[in-house]
Structure 1
Amino acid sequence: MKLVNLSVRRPVGVIMVVAAILALGFVSLRSLTIDLYPDIDLPIAVVSTTYEDAAPQEVERLVSQPVESAVSAIEGLEVLQSQSQAGASLIFMQFSTGTDLDSTLLEVRESVDQVNQALPEGAGEPNVLRFDPQQLPIMTIGLSGDSPEKLQQVAEDQLIPQIERQGGVASVDIEGGKTREVEVLISRSQMAQYDLNTQTIMQTLNASNQAASAGSIQKGDQDLQIRIDGEFDSIEDIKDTIIQSSSGARVTLSQIADIEEKYESSTVSEVGGQPAVVLSILKKSDANTVQTADNVRSSITEVEDDLPVNTNTEVVLDTSEFIKTSINSVFLNIILGGIFSIIVLMLFLKSFRATLVIGIAIPIAIISTFTLMYFTGETLNVLTMGGLALGIGMMVDSSIVILENIVSYRQRGYSMVESAKEGASELAPAVIASATTTLVVFLPIIFVEGIASELFTPLALTISFALITALAVSVTLIPMLSSKLLTKPLQTSGRRYWFDRFLAKVNDRYRSLLRIVLRWRKTTIALTLASIVGSVALIPSIGTEFIPPSDQGQIQINVDMPAATSLEGTQEATDKVDAQLKTFSDVIKVRYLTIGGGSMGGIGGGTSDSASYTIQLVDPDQRKSSTQAVVKDIDEELRGIAGADIAVSELDAGLGTGAPLQIQLNGTEYEVLDELSQQVVYVMEDVEGVSEPTSSTEEGRPEMQIEVNREKAAEYGLSDQEVITQVQTAFTGQIATRYREAGEEIDVQMILPEDQRETIADLEGMSVQTPTGSVIPLATIADLEQVQGPVSLLREDQQPQVNVESNVIDRDLGSTTDDVRAQLEELNFPDGYSYEIGGQAQDMEEAFGDLGLALIFSIFLVYAVMAIQFENFLFPFIIMFSLPATVVGITSGLFITGLPFSLPAFVGIIMLAGIVVNNAIVLVDYINILRSKEYDRTEAILEAGPSRLRPILMTTLTTVLGMVPLAIGIGQGAEAQQPLAVTIIFGLTVSSFFTLILIPVVYTYFDDLSNKITGIFRKGKDEA
Structure 2
Amino acid sequence: MYNVWSFFTKRSRFAIILILAILFLGITAIVDIPKESAPEVDVPIAIVSTVLPGASPEDVEKLITNVLEEPLKNSLSDVRNITSNSSEGVSSITIEFEASADIKKSISDVRDQIDISKNELPTEALDPRIIEIEFGSEPVVTATLSATIPQELLYQLGEDAADELEKVRGVSSVSVGGVEKREVAVVIDRNALAQLSLTITDVTRAISAANVALPVGNIQLGDAEFPVRLAGDITDTQEVADIPILSVGGTPVYVRDIARIIDGRQEPTTYSRTSINGAPSIESVSFDVFKSSSAKITTVSKDVQAKLAELQEEGGLLEGMQVHVVFDNGELLQDDLTTLTRSGLQTVLLVTIVLLLAVGWREALIAAISIPLSFLTAFIGLESSGNTLNFVSLFALILSIGIIVDSTIVIVEGINRRLHKLESHEGESNKEREKIKSRAALDVIREFHVPLTAGTMTTIAVFAPLLMVSGITGEFIKSIPFTIIFVLLSSLLVALGFVPMFATKLLRRNKPTTQESLHEEVIVERSSIGKAISSFGNFILMLMWVGPLFPTTRTRIKHNVHEQLGARISRTRDGVVHRIEEWYRMRLTRFLASRESQNIIIVTLFALFAVSLSLPITGAVNVIFFEDTDSDWIFIEAELPTGSILERTDLEIRKAEEILYTIPEATSFVTTVGRTSAFGNITGGSSANARFANIFITLDEDRERESTEIIDDIRGKLSAIHTSQMRVDQLSDGPPSLAPVTITLSGESLTDLEEAATIVERVLEEISGTTDITSSTKNNTNEFVFSINRAEAIAQGVSIGTIATTLRAALYGEEATEIKQLGDDIDVITRLALDTQDGADAFATNETTIDTLAQIEVATQSGATPLSSFVTVAVQPSRSAILHDDGKRIATVSSRLTENGNAVKISTEFKEKIENYVLPESVSVSVGGESEEIDQSFKDMFVALIIGMVSMFAILVLQFNSFRYALYVLAIVPLSLIGVFGGLMITGSPLSFPSIMGFIALSGIVVNNSIILVDTINTQRRKYGSTKSVNEIIVDATTSRLRPVLLTALTTVIGVIPLLFAAAIWVPLAYALMFGLAFATIITLLLVPSIYARWPGKFEE
TM band (smaller chain) = over 0.9
* One-letter amino acid of the structure 2 residue matched with residue 254 of structure 1: R
Aligned counterpart for 2:884 among listed residues 791, 795, 800: 795
Secondary structure of 2:689's match?
Answer: coil
Contact 1:267/1:595 (CA < 8 Å) preserved in 2? Answer: yes
Partner residue of 2:576 out of 484, 499, 502 = 502
1:410 deviation in Å?
2.6
- Residue of 983, 998, 1012 corresponding to 1:922: 1012
Per-residue displacement from partner, 1:846-902 (whole Å, max 9, x unpaired)? Answer: 111111122222222222222222222222222333223202101111111211111
Q: Distance in 2 between matches of 1:280 and 1:190?
A: 45
Q: CA deviation at 1:641?
A: 2.8
Residues 907 and 931 in structure 2, CA contact (< 8 A), matched pair in contact too: yes
CA distance in structure 1 between the partners assigned to 2:88 and 2:129 by the alignment: 17
Pairwise CA distance, 1:915:
1.9
Structure 1 position 764, deviation (Å): 4.4
> Is 2:684 the partner of 1:610?
no
Q: Following superposition of structure 1 onto structure 2, how do residues 762-841 of structure 1 map, counting pairs within 5 Å? A: 762-771=851-860, 774-810=863-899, 811-841=901-931
* TM-aligned CA distance change 1:654 to 1:908, over 3 Å: closer
Partner of 2:779 in structure 1? 699
Task: Tell me how far 1:773 sits from its aligned partner.
Answer: 6.8
Matches within 5 A, 1:719-758: 719-753=799-833, 754-755=835-836, 757-758=846-847
Measured against aligned partners, the alpha-carbon deviations of 1:440-468 in whole angstroms (never above 9, x if no partner) come to 21232234544453233320121121111
Contact kept, 8 Å, 1:81 with 1:91, in 2: the verdict is yes
Equivalent residue, structure 1, for 2:333: 323
Evaluate the alpha carbon distance shift between residue 82 and residue 6 of structure 1 in structure 2; reply closer, same or farther with a 3 A threshold. same
Q: For 1:81, which of 80, 83, 86 is the aligned residue?
A: 83
Offset at 1:469? 0.6
Query: What letter matches 2:716 in structure 1?
Result: E
Q: Distance in 1 between matches of 2:792 and 2:168?
A: 58
Quote the residue 1:478 is aligned against. 499
Q: What is the CA-CA distance between 1:288 and the residue it aligns to? A: 5.2
| CA spacing shift, 1:937–1:195, aligned 2, 3 Å | closer
Aligned mates of 1:9, 1:526 — CA distance in 2 = 51
Please, which moves more after superposition, 398-407 or 270-279?
A: 398-407
Residue of structure 1 aligned with 2:605, choices 525, 528, 532: 528
Q: 1:927 to 1:767 in 2, by over 3 A?
A: closer
Paired position in structure 2 for 1:553: 632
Partner of 2:357: 347
Residues 706, 785 of structure 1: 8 Å contact kept: yes
**1:568-579 → structure 2 map (5 Å cutoff):** 568-579=647-658
Matched residues in 1 for 2:182 and 2:733: separation?
Answer: 35
Q: Which residue of 2 is the match for residue 850 of structure 1?
A: 940
Specify the alignment match of 2:96 in structure 1. Answer: 94
What are the within-5 Å matches in structure 2 for residues 84-163 of structure 1?
Answer: 84-132=86-134, 135-145=137-147, 146-160=149-163, 162-163=165-166
Q: In 2 relative to 1, CA 457–490 (structure 1 residues): closer, same or farther, beyond 3 Å?
A: farther
Structure 1 residues 603, 389: closer, same or farther in 2, change over 3 A? closer
> CA-to-partner distance for each residue in 1:20-43, whole Å, 9 max, x for gaps?
222222222222222333233221
* Partners of 2:725 and 2:971 in 1: CA distance: 56
Question: Are the counterparts in 2 of residues 195 and 246 from structure 1 also a CA contact under 8 Å?
Answer: no
Instruction: Please state how far the C-alpha of 1:632 moved relative to its aligned partner.
Output: 0.7
**How many pairs does the alignment contain?**
1002
Report how far residue 581 of structure 1 moved.
0.7
1:393 and 1:604 mapped to 2: Cα distance? Answer: 42
- After superposition, the Cα gap between the structure-2 partners of 1:68 and 1:463, relative to the gap in structure 1 and judged at 3 Å, is same
Counterparts of residues 603-1002 of structure 1 (less than 5 Å)? 605-619=687-701, 622-652=702-732, 655-753=735-833, 754-755=835-836, 757-771=846-860, 774-810=863-899, 811-932=901-1022, 933=1024, 934-966=1027-1059, 968=1060, 970-971=1061-1062, 974-1002=1063-1091
Q: Which moved more, 1:764-773 or 1:451-460?
A: 764-773
Shift of residue 638, structure 1, vs aligned partner: 2.0
Residue of 587, 591, 607 corresponding to 2:665 = 587
The amino acid of 1:945's aligned partner reads: T
SS of equivalent to 1:884: helix
Within 5 Å, which residues of 2 pair with 1:30-45?
A: 30-45=31-46
Counterpart secondary structure, 2:478? helix
1:265 equivalent in structure 2? 268
> Deviations 1:298-334 (Å, cap 9, x if unpaired)?
4545655542543443211223333332232221221
- 1:91, CA displacement in angstroms? 1.4
Q: Could you give the per-residue CA deviations for residues 236-268 of structure 1, whole angstroms, max 9, x where no partner exists?
A: 322222222588652122222222334431210
Match of 2:464 in 1: 443
- The one-letter code sitting in structure 2 at the alignment partner of 1:440 is A
Deviations 1:957-986 (CA, angstroms, capped at 9, x unpaired): 1122111211x2x13xx2333222222221
Deviation (angstroms), 1:483: 2.3
- Find the counterpart in structure 2 of residue 1021 from structure 1: none
Range 876-885 or range 292-301, more displaced: 292-301
Residues 337 and 963 in structure 1, CA contact (< 8 A), matched pair in contact too: yes
Q: Quick one: which of 202, 207, 216 aligns to 1:205?
A: 207
- Is the 8 Å Cα contact of residues 43 and 99 (structure 1) preserved in structure 2? yes
Structure 2 residues without counterparts, runs of 5 or longer: 276-280, 424-432, 514-566, 839-845
3-state DSSP of counterpart to 1:607: strand
For residue 68 of structure 1, report the CA deviation from its aligned partner: 1.2
Distance 1:691 1:994, change over 3 A: same
Deviation string, structure 1 residues 768-821 (Cα, Å, up to 9, x no partner)? 143357554433321112223122211111110111122122223322332233
Give the Cα–Cα distance (whole angstroms) in 2 for the partners of residues 353 and 537 of structure 1. 47
TM-score (normalizing by structure 2): 0.86
d(CA) in 1 for partners of 2:684, 2:206: 33
Structure 2 vs 1, CA of residues 762 and 53 (structure 1 numbering), >3 Å: closer, same or farther? same
- Displacement after TM superposition at 1:60 (Å): 1.1
**Cα RMSD, aligned residues only:** 2.9
Query: For the residues of structure 2 that align with 1:767 and 1:449, how far apart are their CA atoms?
Result: 56
8 Å Cα contact 2:744-2:926 kept in structure 1: yes
Between stretches 736-745 and 58-67, larger displacement belongs to 736-745
Structure 2 residue 301 is the aligned partner of structure 1 residue 293: yes
Q: Which amino acid letter does the alignment assign opposite residue 656 of structure 2?
A: V
Distance 1:654 1:903, change over 3 A: closer
Measure the CA separation in 1 of the matches of 2:511 and 2:372: 24
CA–CA distance in structure 1, aligned partners of residues 917 and 289 of structure 2: 45
Deviation per CA, 1:138-157, whole angstroms, max 9, x where unpaired?
Answer: 43221222333333333334
Q: Which runs of 5+ in 1 are unaligned?
A: 1015-1024
Name the stretch that deviates more: 995-1004 or 467-476.
995-1004
Q: Is 1:184–1:750's contact at 8 Å kept on the other side of the alignment?
A: yes
Matched, 1:60 2:26: no
Say if 2:472 and 2:736, in contact at 8 Å, map to a contact too: no
Distance in 2 between residues matched to 1:825 and 1:285, nearest whole Å: 53
- Please state if 1:433 is matched with 2:454: yes
Is this contact kept in 2: 1:546–1:902, CA < 8 A? yes
**1:15 alignment partner in structure 2:** 16
Residues 168 and 956 of structure 1, relative CA distance in 2, 3 Å threshold: farther
Letter in 2 for 1:316: V
- Quick one: which amino acid aligns to residue 914 of structure 2? L
Please state how far the C-alpha of 1:716 moved relative to its aligned partner: 3.2
